[in-house]
Amino acid sequence: MEWIAAKLALGRLGVRPQTLYAYASRGRVQVRADPADPRRSLYNAADLDALIERRRRGRKRAEVAAGAISWGEPVLDSAITTIVGGRLFYRGRDAVRLAQTESFEAVARLLRGGDGVRPKRMAPAAAPGAGDLRARAFAVLAQRAGSDPPALGRNPAALAAEAAGLLDAMAAAVAGAPGEGPIHLRLARAWGADERGADLIRRALVLMADHELNASTFAARVAASTGASLAACVLAGLAALSGPRHGAAAAAVRALLTDAARDGPEAAVAARLHEDRAIPGFGHPLYPQGDPRAAALLAGFSPSAAAAALGRAAQAHTGRAPNVDFALVAMTQAIDAPADADFGLFAMARTAGWIAHALEQVRSGGLIRPRARYVGPEPEA
């Protein structure tokens, strides 16, 4: 990663010092102290190049909209989550610090804005249906989406109770049975994890509770903008999460671990690079210096020898640090959880974020309805 002095950064951008400082304070350009002179600052050259490219594209509305679709400019206002300087914040609070002490339920309430304390006499979720973890989650949400009322115009207290009930229902689906107590303990009991394993589950749930406007969260917000029920919004999020480029990415990490066990970690990584295939579980566009969620989770346990060897090989070949997908697979293997526990943890955690974003979207009152840029045949006369 290239770091350049302020004078070079100003020349490259063609801006005044105040503008460069504003970019840095808003997290658009990473900055660090110069090791040779702590009084001076160095700026991330890649971030500067990205700013230059945005300006080169111009500010035409169509071009800006197209650039926003894939890791581009922000497209809507939110007070829930942000990523600044390689760190993840929930309503201004560092997610890594929250994961050290807070319960998943407390963080879910924080994401919702402090509302939604579980009603004391709320009936526990019904027993989930048959099938594997993923099938149970879809079935529970689909049943509720077909019967729960729309979210628009609802009393905030009623929506808060509904939000708490949805977390409880999802916990029952992931665990395979209804239960009482903190969700991380319910999952630990279901998977036979000890006290240490239960705390790792808690940390994972907190670290993955939300991640700004990712694909599944955007899907949930689109559903919420129509006034759909909270259950329908969570179902939309789960549908997007199930894809191999999102929540199911952990399956690709498991497949890579299988290849590494058969061929050796060096050979498994080299083969994928030779075939121009991505190395799943390493690198993240929003964290060029490493995913803090992965680092925080991996610090809580010792990965298996096989996972550790794969991590070393992947980093040596690609220069990329593990992301949360790799950390999640290594963690669930370390506590001997079921094979689908990584997806279950991801879905359980992200349910808190989907609900928070759905509620925020409902309060905003706006309908998310982008336009398509037509590139098909010429319309008939």
Give the position of tokens 């490259």: 12
Helix (H) or strand (E) holding 168: helix 156-175
Give the position of tokens 């991505």: 278
Are 79 and 46 within one domain?
A: no
Measure the CA dihedral 163/165/169/170, to 10°. 20
Catalytic residue annotation: 284, 325
Query: Does 199 score more than 80 pLDDT?
Result: yes
Q: Which range has the worst mean pLDDT, 27-36, 60-69, 172-181, 266-275?
A: 60-69
Q: How many domains does the structure of the chain reveal?
A: 2
Are 147 and 48 within one domain?
A: no
**pLDDT for position 121:** 47
Write out pLDDT tens, residues 280-336. Answer: 999 998 898 999 999 999 999 999 999 999 999 999 999 999 999 999 999 999 999
Query: Does 42 score more than 50 pLDDT?
Result: yes
Are 52 and 108 within one domain?
A: no
Read off the amino acid at residue 322.
P
Are the C-beta atoms of 159 and 228 separated by less than 8 Å? no
The domain boundary, picked from 20, 36, 57, lies at 57
Query: Does 4 score more than 80 pLDDT?
Result: yes
DSSP letters along 45-66, please?
HHHHHHHHHHHHH---HHHHHH
The domain boundary, picked from 41, 57, 73, lies at 57
| pLDDT > 90 fraction of the chain, expressed in percent and rounded | 65
Are 103 and 48 within one domain?
A: no
Are 100 and 137 within one domain?
A: yes
Phi, psi of 31 (to 5 degrees): -135, 145
Q: What is the mean pLDDT of residues 202-207?
A: 98
Q: Which range has the worst mean pLDDT, 114-118, 174-178, 184-188, 212-216?
A: 114-118
Query: Does 172 score more than 80 pLDDT?
Result: yes
DSSP state, residue 282: B
Are 49 and 180 within one domain?
A: no
**pLDDT for position 147:** 94
Are the C-beta atoms of 47 and 9 separated by less than 8 Å? no
**pLDDT for position 28:** 82
Phi, psi of 76 (to 5 degrees): -155, 160
**pLDDT for position 83:** 93
CATH number at residue 228: 1.10.580.10
DSSP letters along 317-342, please?
HH---B-HHHHHHHHHHHTT--TTHH
Are 141 and 214 within one domain?
A: yes
Are 53 and 65 within one domain?
A: no
Helix (H) or strand (E) holding 87: strand 87-90
Are 155 and 258 within one domain?
A: yes
Write out pLDDT tens, residues 95-138. Answer: 999 999 999 999 999 999 975 455 454 556 666 766 799 999 99
Write out pLDDT tens, residues 46-72. Answer: 888 888 887 776 555 555 555 555 555
The domain boundary, picked from 39, 57, 75, lies at 57
| Residue with the larger pLDDT of the pair 231 and 24 | 231
The parent domain of residue 159 ranges over 60-381
Q: What are the Cα distances from residue 103, in Å, to 70, 86, 186, 199, 317?
A: 33, 23, 13, 10, 37
Are 207 and 334 within one domain?
A: yes
Are 75 and 27 within one domain?
A: no
Are 97 and 51 within one domain?
A: no
